[in-house]
Amino acid sequence: MVAEIISVLTVLFTVIYVLVILYLIHGWRQIPRFRVSQEAPSFQTKVSVLIAARNEEKNIGVTLTDIINQNFPKDLLEIIVVDDHSTDRTADVIRSFAEQGVILIQLDESEPLNSYKKKAITEAINYANGELMVATDADCRMGPDWLKSIVTMYEEKELKLISGPVVYDHEKSLFERLQTLEFLYLIGLGAAGIGNGRSSTCNGANLAYSKDVFLELGGFQGIDDLASGDDELFLHKVVSKYPKQIAFCKSREAIVHTDAKHTIGSFISQRKRWASKSTKYQNKSLVMLGVGIWIFNVLLVANIIGAIFFKGALMVAIYCIFTKMVAEYFFLVPISRFAKRTNYLLYLPLLSIVHVFYLIYIGLAGNSGTYQWKGREVR
């Protein structure tokens, strides 16, 4: 009897999940492609690019070179890198770009913090002279029209916050390709939310907002007790005051590329850090959605186990996982086309199955205990 009830609930949650995916598809379609004229625009906005770096001596040089080489007026560009207590040569690499205008700030915190990145970004913003803050990470790469796209959108639409696309690159293994596909889902989720007028997620590797709105909303005050959340939780603060002045820059020129995690351990630590943000979500509908998706995956596994007692449970699980996969496929097709990763859709059947077990684990682990990040233990 219990197994049969679980099967009925699984079918019900599958229907709800498909409806959610259809809503996301609608949201993605609502966002028009943003195209920047090839003619040199007359920019008016002073921009400060912010990077928090910890032990990134192998990556930061490439990132800074990409930013310096932007098709954007040098007199309107300020680059600030905050060295977060690096134990390698990160600071030395940053200093080597001093003649090209790169500013180095070094954190010197005597007391331990739980959110060094938010502290680093806050210090950079306090120092910055720009009107528009553009945050990225120390291991990212971007094309020459990245800033041109972001700033053009900012000036044309009078926005408070712009979420930019982030795509994994240089995948060397099946594990990294699966991450790329999953990450496309997450980027699409954030974009679709903005398209539907219900902004919920974004990524700090490609995020722009006005300095005025950061100061007006008290920066990271109230969300500074978590290691993560410099992106999503700040987005939620902006949504609460300026819900109509947030946009997703749906432009290939605006894409920031970064690498997938090379090991399962580093991947799990990253996802636990991301999941920990959910404890601070003020939007209860967003919390309910996350809990509902977690329960849906638990029910799928319960059906597989329930097959021992109810013969039809296994078939219910198979049909529901297949339906889930088909819905995700139609959601991911336009997003993977935008990111030029349609060949990775081949891995969707495997990802759909693995994702069921992964989400159950992360949903629990991400909201309990501590984890390692950048050589530190955080919660």
Point out which residues pair with 163 in neighbouring strands.
207, 248
Which is nearest to 238 in space by CA: 269, 264, 207, 205?
Answer: 207
Instruction: Please provide residue 258's backbone torsions phi and psi, each rounded to the nearest 5 degrees.
Output: -145, 175
Which pLDDT value is given to residue 274? 77
Mean pLDDT for all residues in the chain? 90
Question: Does position 83 have pLDDT exceeding 80, yes or no?
Answer: yes
pLDDT in tens, 61-77: 999 999 999 999 999 99
Which pLDDT value is given to residue 134? 98
- Superfamily of domain 34-277 in CATH is Spore Coat Polysaccharide Biosynthesis Protein SpsA; Chain A (3.90.550.10)
CA distance readout (Å), 221 to 115, 203, 309, 345, 346: 11, 19, 52, 40, 43
Q: What is the mean pLDDT of residues 336-361?
A: 94
Which pLDDT value is given to residue 376? 59
Angstrom distance (rounded) from CA 294 to CA 280: 17
Containing 95, the helix (H) or strand (E) segment is helix 90-95
Question: Does position 338 have pLDDT exceeding 90, yes or no?
Answer: yes
Share of the chain above pLDDT 70, in %: 92
Which pLDDT value is given to residue 15? 96
Band of the pLDDT at 165, cuts 50, 70, 90? very high
Question: Does position 110 have pLDDT exceeding 80, yes or no?
Answer: no
Domain boundaries, the chain: 2-27+283-368, 34-277
pTM recorded for the entire structure: 0.92
Which is nearest to 85 in space by CA: 61, 106, 101?
Answer: 106
Question: Does position 374 have pLDDT exceeding 70, yes or no?
Answer: no
Question: Does position 213 have pLDDT exceeding 90, yes or no?
Answer: yes
Q: What is the mean pLDDT of residues 298-302?
A: 91
